[in-house]
């Protein structure tokens, strides 16, 4: 296993003791095949037990370990040292308050997620005895991509609109709302749509697509936003121009 | 199962559970039911409580945000009888035989009966199960199962189950979440569990959760070992809390190795790789399982159920061990490996059914399963043992219930069949909720304020003492390394009395040294040095229960294989082991008979001969 001396420059901030964030340098020998998270774990074990960050699965599925790595939002468990040269700069995800070191406060997303009603709203009650809903592979495919969101917050850190307008409900929450809207078993679109249309930002989204670019699961939030916007526009026309078509 | 129209009368209203004395010591949060853990089992329990009794106050407490829980890592799927050629009896027989007859058969009956209902319920909540062309749910073959009955959502089944449950839970206002709270101690008074203390991680403040019933759903403990599929959070906390509060840990010697982990990171390649037709080869290109009682060889790419690559995990991992001893494995820089060959499945099938597997193998190991066989080796995966519960998910401590991987009902016996665990956490998560409700109805008695306050104060004082230590030489990382190497060396796939005795001695020593472990970080906000120290304490206690139970079980059964007692011994050991906490002393090991209703112990036959 080839080893390499890796230098990391990590943002440190402890609200109890620090007035403002500073950068701390660590240099550690690491196997070439490691990810940035492995290097952080190695530092925590052998150099500095006070360094704080979140992680759990080490397989890009729990969504805990998002960080800015050389200025880009990344999952540190899937960012390979081999892809970086020179000093690697590690910071907490942009656009979120820092709780401590690389740990951010994500309350905002958690509140917003709940607001878009990310659960199936059944048209009529279906008892378990009636068995499963039928849903063809084609129907599944229409929304499947949007179910893959791991809530890692990389898209919020990449979104210029969220940076400017914190009330913007944001890419992940919209994708998840869209996921249920597209589900053949769901009848809750109306309620979700109202919630989304009523919030700031959707209309300002400039579709630069940064969210989709950084998404580690290829969810394509920008695509979801676009479709939500078109749907909302159609709704508006239906409401205002063609009142006789209202159901 | 009574479905939702049949709502219960509110149980929560009218009971005064404020407790001024405790509040003087610690900020106190009150609930009717407090759930420790928000993975699959904890969320399922919370939703069941909210649906059954909307007026209840439910506290859902977790050291990570619910969607970070390790249920998200499960890939393969969840077992439940759904297709016409299958039956509950088949699922029962596969599970009991797979568990080498150490399962409680009444509990297995309950599991297999409730399984389809729970999986359909999840479907109604939106779980994106993979489908057949006609729109019905699809099932796939899994190890040790005679029929195809594993429901799956591509190879992210646990992820979808967890997110479906989490998102569904958001519609219930009565579920109050306490995300990133680390539970430290159960509070017991007058022989009943009354709640627990927990550290609010963002402030470092300790809080006291007082509840009329507590459900532990804290997951497994694979992190006791150095090479594991388990995420960082699986440190056996809930098991240790219950154990210290006097609840036995049952069947802890049964630790499952999954045969196919990536050799460097331990990342799991799901059993569905073999379910879809992947095969295991040794260095000579031979499908070596046929040499260890799982032959004859089956046609390439056509997985035959319950034999060869679809044998149970204990047998497959053991076959690896033997073939390795014969020098037949592939040497790699991460140790000896076998090869998981999926090339014959073709790119299309691999991308459709196993996209995550392909992605993992390419990114973490640089091997594309479409073009090359993937080196893999057995990896610690699952705890069959855990908190002693009965078929109602109740522990022997009144007011305390447990479900999911932390609990041992036991439906897994000496070896869990893949895809039974996701089902278990749904079925018994809900069962724990219903039992807690029954308990609330039957005994509303409030605790003794003075005693509760004293208990909360003790938990607080223990933490202060840990913070106050200085100048000692023991570190969290150092002790943890010694713990994990000891477990790997002596409590692995094959064990010996000598090795286990040594492990017990080492663990006793590590537990003693743990008392002088020192923190580097003495601040309050998100102090992971502190949390890792507490997690280490939990792992040490669980590990001692594992090695002591393993040393006492002088037979080989399922995942517990002794080189010095190679046979199964039903006369003496067709019994559950119960490790009972004795403070600084090693645990006492007791036994309880297995519940056998209709399937007497038989031979586990995974040869393809009579199939
Ligand atoms: C990689 C992998 C793949 C798997 N694949 C399958 C499969 O295909 N099929 C199958 O049936 N099974 C599978 N399993 C097993 C199965 O996924 C787990 O057994 C199951 O998900 C455990 O769920 P749980 O709800 O019990 O615990 P978890 O999901 O682990 O949740 C535990 C919860 O407890 C909380 N907690 C723990 N300690 C504390 C504390 N001190 N204070 C506060 N909160 C705490 C955590 O925050 C978390 O919310 C797999 C396991 C792994 C590791
Ligand atoms: S640790 Fe889970 S996503 Fe990186």
Q: Of the candidates B333, B363, B381, which is a domain's last residue?
A: B381
- Positive or negative, the CA dihedral B217, B220, B221, B223 is negative
Span B135-193, pLDDT tens digits: 999 999 999 999 999 999 999 999 999 999 999 999 999 999 999 999 999 999 999 99
Confidence of residue B442 (pLDDT cuts 50, 70, 90): confident
What integer is the mean pLDDT of B298-313? 91
Q: Are residues B594 and B583 in the same domain?
A: yes
Q: Are residues A181 and A85 in the same domain?
A: no
Tokens of B212: 């009329």
Nearest CA in chain B to A112: B170
Q: Are residues B160 and B72 in the same domain?
A: yes
Span A114-126, pLDDT tens digits: 999 999 998 888 9
What does the pLDDT read at residue B220?
98
What does the pLDDT read at residue A235?
66
For ligand 1, whether the C-beta of B73 sits within 6 Å is: yes
What does the pLDDT read at residue A239?
61
Confidence of residue A228 (pLDDT cuts 50, 70, 90): confident
Place of tokens 């804290």: B218
Residue B9 Cα, ligand 2 centroid: separation in angstroms?
42
Bridge partners (DSSP) of residue B447 are none
All residues of chain B having their beta carbon less than 8 Å from the beta carbon of residue A125 are: 4-5
Q: Of the candidates A104, A123, A154, which is a domain's last residue?
A: A104
Distance in angstroms (rounded) separating the CA atoms of residues A53 and A37: 9
Q: How far is CA B246 from CA B188, B250, B340, B414, in A?
A: 10, 12, 44, 23
What does the pLDDT read at residue B16?
45
Q: Are residues A112 and A211 in the same domain?
A: yes
Q: Are residues B343 and B402 in the same domain?
A: no
Tokens of A170: 């944001």
Contact yes or no for A44 and B68 at CB 8 A: no
Contact yes or no for B68 and A62 at CB 8 A: yes
Q: Are residues A21 and A49 in the same domain?
A: yes
Q: Is the pLDDT of residue B3 over 60?
A: no
Domain assignment present for B354 = yes
| Nearest-CB residue to A135 (from B131, B168, B360) | B131
Chain A interface includes B167 (CB < 8 A)? yes
Q: Are residues B411 and B290 in the same domain?
A: no
Q: Are residues A129 and A94 in the same domain?
A: no
Distance in angstroms (rounded) separating the CA atoms of residues A142 and A136: 10
- Positive or negative, the CA dihedral B209, B215, B219, B221 is positive
Ligand 1 nearest-atom number relative to CA B222: 53
Q: Are residues A116 and A226 in the same domain?
A: yes
What does the pLDDT read at residue A24?
98
Q: Of the candidates B340, B362, B381, which is a domain's last residue?
A: B381
Q: Are residues A42 and A90 in the same domain?
A: yes
Q: Are residues A60 and A156 in the same domain?
A: no
Residue A151 in contact with residue A171, Cβ under 8 Å? no
The active-site residue out of B91, B160, B194, B274 is B274
Ligand 2 nearest-atom number relative to CA A57: 2
Q: Is the pLDDT of residue B423 over 60?
A: yes
The active-site residue out of B258, B313, B490, B576 is B258
Interface test with B, best of A50, A56, A79, A191 (most B CBs within 10 A): A56
Helix (H, G, I), strand (E, B) or coil at B601: coil
Q: Are residues B234 and B95 in the same domain?
A: yes
Q: Is B258 a catalytic residue?
A: yes
Chain A interface includes B332 (CB < 8 A)? no
What integer is the mean pLDDT of B537-556? 98
Confidence of residue B562 (pLDDT cuts 50, 70, 90): very high
Q: Are residues A240 and A172 in the same domain?
A: yes
Interface test with A, best of B38, B65, B172, B218 (most A CBs within 10 A): B65
| Nearest-CB residue to A140 (from B125, B128, B526) | B128
Q: Are residues A51 and A144 in the same domain?
A: no
What integer is the mean pLDDT of A176-186? 96
Q: Are residues B422 and B302 in the same domain?
A: no
Contact yes or no for B231 and A100 at CB 8 A: no
Q: Are residues A196 and A85 in the same domain?
A: no
Residue minimizing CA distance to atom 18 of ligand 1? B71
Q: Is the pLDDT of residue B444 over 80?
A: no
What integer is the mean pLDDT of A222-242? 72
What does the pLDDT read at residue B70?
97
Domain assignment present for B10 = no
Span B592-610, pLDDT tens digits: 999 999 999 999 999 887 5
Span B96-134, pLDDT tens digits: 999 999 999 999 999 999 999 999 999 999 999 999 999
Distance in angstroms (rounded) separating the CA atoms of residues B550 and B544: 10
**For the domain that residue B23 is a member of, what is the CATH number?**
3.50.50.60
Ligand 2 nearest-atom number relative to CA B68: 2
Q: Are residues B335 and B297 in the same domain?
A: yes
Among A62-71, B2-11, B97-106, B586-595, the range scoring the smallest mean pLDDT is B2-11
What does the pLDDT read at residue B447?
77
Q: Of the candidates A78, A104, A130, which is a domain's last residue?
A: A104
What integer is the mean pLDDT of B253-262? 97
| Nearest-CB residue to A132 (from B136, B231, B532) | B136
Q: Is the pLDDT of residue B7 over 50?
A: no
A residues 103..162 contacting B (CB < 8 A): 103, 105-106, 110, 113-114, 117-120, 122, 125-129, 131-137, 139-140, 143-144, 147-148, 150-151
| Nearest-CB residue to A56 (from B168, B232, B268) | B232
Peptide bond before B443: cis, by omega within 30 degrees of 0?
no
What does the pLDDT read at residue B90?
97
Nearest CA in chain A to B164: A119
What does the pLDDT read at residue B569?
98
All residues of chain A having their beta carbon less than 8 Å from the beta carbon of residue B159 are: 61, 150
Q: Is B274 a catalytic residue?
A: yes
For ligand 2, whether the C-beta of A77 sits within 6 Å is: yes
What integer is the mean pLDDT of A147-170? 94
Mean pLDDT score of chain B, rounded to an integer?
Answer: 94
Q: Of the candidates A104, A134, A154, which is a domain's last residue?
A: A104
Q: Are residues B369 and B389 in the same domain?
A: no
Among A188-202, B127-141, B474-488, the range scoring the smallest mean pLDDT is A188-202
Distance from CA of A134 to the nearest CA of B (A): 4
Q: Is the pLDDT of residue B323 over 70?
A: yes
Q: Which domain holds residue A217?
A: 107-245
What does the pLDDT read at residue B320?
96
Confidence of residue B81 (pLDDT cuts 50, 70, 90): very high
Confidence of residue B307 (pLDDT cuts 50, 70, 90): very high
What does the pLDDT read at residue B450?
87
Domain assignment present for B58 = yes
Span B392-417, pLDDT tens digits: 999 999 999 999 999 999 999 999 99
Q: Is the pLDDT of residue A232 over 80?
A: no
Contact yes or no for A57 and B130 at CB 8 A: no
What does the pLDDT read at residue B62?
98
All residues of chain A having their beta carbon less than 8 Å from the beta carbon of residue B68 are: 54, 56-57, 62-64
Q: Which domain holds residue B448?
A: 17-254+384-611
Question: Under 8 Å CB-to-CB from B274, ≥6 apart: which residues?
Answer: B143, B260, B280, B303, B309, B310, B340
Q: Are residues B47 and B118 in the same domain?
A: yes
Domain assignment present for B601 = yes
What does the pLDDT read at residue B11?
42
Interface test with B, best of A28, A47, A52, A141 (most B CBs within 10 A): A52
Residue B441 in contact with residue B420, Cβ under 8 Å? no
Distance from CA of A30 to the nearest CA of B (A): 14
Confidence of residue B14 (pLDDT cuts 50, 70, 90): very low
% residues pLDDT > 90 (chain B): 90
**For the domain that residue B375 is a member of, what is the CATH number?**
3.90.700.10
Contact yes or no for B526 and A100 at CB 8 A: yes
Mean pLDDT score of chain A, rounded to an integer?
Answer: 91
- Domain count across chain A: 2
Higher pLDDT, B320 or A227: B320
What does the pLDDT read at residue B2?
36
Q: Are residues B398 and B307 in the same domain?
A: no
Please report which ligand is nearest the Cα atom of A57.
Answer: 2
Q: Are residues A73 and A173 in the same domain?
A: no
Distance in angstroms (rounded) separating the CA atoms of residues B233 and B231: 5
What integer is the mean pLDDT of A192-205? 76
Q: Is the pLDDT of residue A206 over 80?
A: no
Chain B interface includes A82 (CB < 8 A)? no
Q: Are residues B369 and B401 in the same domain?
A: no
B residues 145..164 contacting A (CB < 8 A): 156, 159-160, 163
All residues of chain B having their beta carbon less than 8 Å from the beta carbon of residue A52 are: 526-528
Confidence of residue B232 (pLDDT cuts 50, 70, 90): very high
For ligand 1, whether the C-beta of B237 sits within 6 Å is: yes
**For the domain that residue A115 is a member of, what is the CATH number?**
1.10.1060.10
**For the domain that residue A75 is a member of, what is the CATH number?**
3.10.20.30
Span B386-397, pLDDT tens digits: 999 999 999 999
Alpha helices in A87-220 (DSSP H): 107-115, 137-147, 154-158, 160-164, 171-181, 189-197, 210-214
Confidence of residue B18 (pLDDT cuts 50, 70, 90): low
Residue minimizing CA distance to atom 10 of ligand 1? B419
Place of tokens 């490790």: B579
Domain assignment present for B69 = yes
Ligand 1 nearest-atom number relative to CA B41: 25
For residue B148, the Cα-to-chain-centroid distance in whole angstroms is 23
Q: Is the pLDDT of residue B1 over 50?
A: no
Q: Of the candidates B348, B381, B414, which is a domain's last residue?
A: B381
What does the pLDDT read at residue A240?
61
- Domain count across chain B: 2
What integer is the mean pLDDT of B491-516? 97
What does the pLDDT read at residue A15?
96
What does the pLDDT read at residue B199?
97
Residue to probe by mutation, ligand 1, list B69, B157, B381, B426, most atoms within 8 Å of CB: B69
Q: Are residues A94 and A136 in the same domain?
A: no
Residue whose C-alpha is closest to residue B181's, from B208, B221, B211: B208
What integer is the mean pLDDT of B340-349? 96
Domain assignment present for B8 = no
Please report which ligand is nearest the Cα atom of B256.
Answer: 1
Domain assignment present for B225 = yes
Q: Is the pLDDT of residue A66 over 80?
A: yes
Distance from CA of A37 to the nearest CA of B (A): 12
Whole-complex ipTM: 0.94
Helices B528-552, B237-244: inter-axial angle, 10-degree rounding:
70
């Amino acid at each position: 296993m080839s080893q390499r001396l890796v230098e990391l420059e990590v943002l440190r901030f402890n609200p109890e003791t620090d007035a403002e964030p500073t950068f701390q340098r660590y240099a550690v020998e690491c196997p070439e095949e490691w990810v940035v998270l492995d290097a952080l774990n190695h530092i925590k074990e052998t150099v500095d037990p006070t360094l704080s960050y979140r992680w759990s699965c080490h397989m890009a599925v729990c969504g805990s370990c998002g960080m800015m790595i050389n200025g880009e939002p990344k999952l540190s468990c899937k960012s390979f040292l081999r892809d970086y040269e020179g000093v690697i700069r590690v910071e907490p995800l942009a656009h979120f308050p820092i709780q401590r070191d690389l740990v951010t406060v994500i309350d905002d997303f958690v509140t917003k997620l709940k607001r878009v009603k990310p659960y199936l709203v059944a048209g009529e009650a279906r008892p378990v005895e009636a068995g499963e809903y039928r849903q063809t592979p084609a129907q599944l495919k229409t929304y499947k991509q949007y179910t893959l969101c791991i809530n890692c917050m990389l898209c919020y850190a990449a979104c210029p609109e969220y940076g400017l307008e914190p009330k913007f409900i944001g890419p992940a929450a919209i994708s998840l709302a869209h996921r249920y809207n597209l589900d053949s078993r769901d009848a809750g679109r109306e309620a979700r749509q109202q919630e989304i249309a009523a919030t700031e930002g959707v209309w300002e989204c400039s579709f630069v697509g940064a969210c989709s670019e950084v998404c580690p699961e290829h969810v394509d939030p920008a695509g979801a936003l676009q479709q939500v916007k078109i749907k909302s526009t159609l709704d508006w026309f239906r409401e205002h121009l063609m009142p006789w078509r209202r159901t | 199962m009574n479905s939702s129209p049949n709502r219960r009368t509110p149980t929560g209203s009218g009971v005064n559970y404020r407790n001024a004395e405790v509040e003087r010591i610690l900020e106190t949060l009150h609930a009717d039911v407090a759930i420790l853990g928000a993975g699959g089992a904890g969320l399922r329990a919370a939703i069941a409580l909210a649906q059954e009794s909307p007026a209840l106050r439910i506290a859902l407490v977790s050291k990570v945000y619910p969607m970070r829980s390790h249920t998200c890592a499960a890939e393969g799927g969840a077992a439940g009888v759904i297709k016409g050629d299958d039956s509950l009896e088949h699922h029962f027989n596969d599970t009991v035989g797979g568990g080498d007859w150490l399962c409680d058969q009444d509990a297995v009956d309950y599991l297999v009966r409730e399984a389809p209902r729970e999986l359909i319920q999840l479907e109604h909540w939106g779980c994106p199960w993979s489908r057949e062309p006609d729109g019905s749910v699809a099932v796939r073959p899994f190890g040790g199962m005679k029929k195809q009955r594993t429901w799956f959502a591509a190879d992210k089944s646990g992820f979808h189950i967890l997110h479906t449950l989490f998102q569904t839970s958001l519609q219930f206002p009565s579920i109050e979440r306490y995300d990133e709270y680390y539970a430290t101690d159960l509070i017991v008074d007058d022989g009943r569990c009354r709640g627990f203390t927990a550290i609010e991680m963002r402030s470092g403040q300790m809080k006291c959760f007082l509840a009329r019933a507590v459900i532990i759903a804290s997951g497994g403990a694979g992190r006791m070992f150095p090479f594991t599929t388990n995420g960082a959070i699986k440190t056996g906390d809930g098991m240790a809390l219950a154990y210290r509060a006097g609840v036995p840990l049952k069947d802890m010697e049964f630790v499952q190795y999954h045969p196919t982990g990536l050799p460097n990171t331990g990342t799991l390649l799901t059993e569905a790789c073999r379910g879809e037709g992947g095969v295991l080869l040794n260095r000579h290109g031979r499908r070596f399982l046929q040499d260890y009682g799982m032959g004859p060889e089956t046609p390439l790419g056509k997985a035959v159920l319950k034999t060869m690559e679809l044998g149970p995990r204990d047998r497959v991992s053991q076959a690896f061990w033997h073939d390795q001893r014969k020098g037949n494995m592939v040497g790699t820089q991460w140790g000896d490996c076998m090869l998981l060959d999926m090339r014959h499945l073709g790119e299309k099938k691999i991308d459709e059914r196993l996209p995550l597997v392909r992605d993992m193998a390419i990114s973490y190991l640089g091997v594309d399963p479409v073009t090359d066989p993937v080196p893999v080796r057995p990896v610690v995966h699952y705890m069959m043992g855990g908190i002693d519960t009965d078929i109602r998910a109740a522990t022997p401590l009144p007011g305390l219930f447990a479900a999911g991987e932390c609990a041992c009902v036991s439906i897994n016996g000496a070896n869990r069949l893949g895809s039974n665990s996701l089902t278990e956490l749904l079925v018994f998560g809900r069962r724990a909720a219903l039992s807690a409700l029954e308990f609330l109805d039957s005994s509303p008695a409030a605790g003794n304020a003075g005693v509760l306050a004293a208990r909360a104060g003790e938990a607080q004082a223990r933490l202060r003492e840990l913070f106050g230590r200085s100048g000692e030489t023991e570190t969290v990382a150092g002790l943890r390394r010694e713990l994990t190497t000891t477990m790997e060396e002596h409590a692995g796939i094959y064990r010996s009395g000598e090795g286990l005795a040594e492990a017990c001695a080492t663990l006793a020593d590590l537990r003693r040294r743990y008392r002088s472990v020192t923190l580097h970080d003495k601040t309050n906000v998100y102090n992971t040095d502190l949390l890792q120290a507490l997690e280490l304490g939990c792992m040490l206690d669980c590990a001692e229960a594992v090695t002591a139970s393993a040393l006492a079980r002088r037979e080989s059964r399922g995942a517990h294989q002794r080189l010095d007692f190679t046979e199964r011994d039903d006369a003496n050991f067709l019994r559950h082991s119960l490790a009972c906490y004795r403070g600084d002393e090693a645990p006492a090991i007791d036994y309880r008979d297995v519940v056998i209703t209709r399937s007497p112990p038989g031979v586990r036959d995974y040869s393809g001969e009579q199939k």
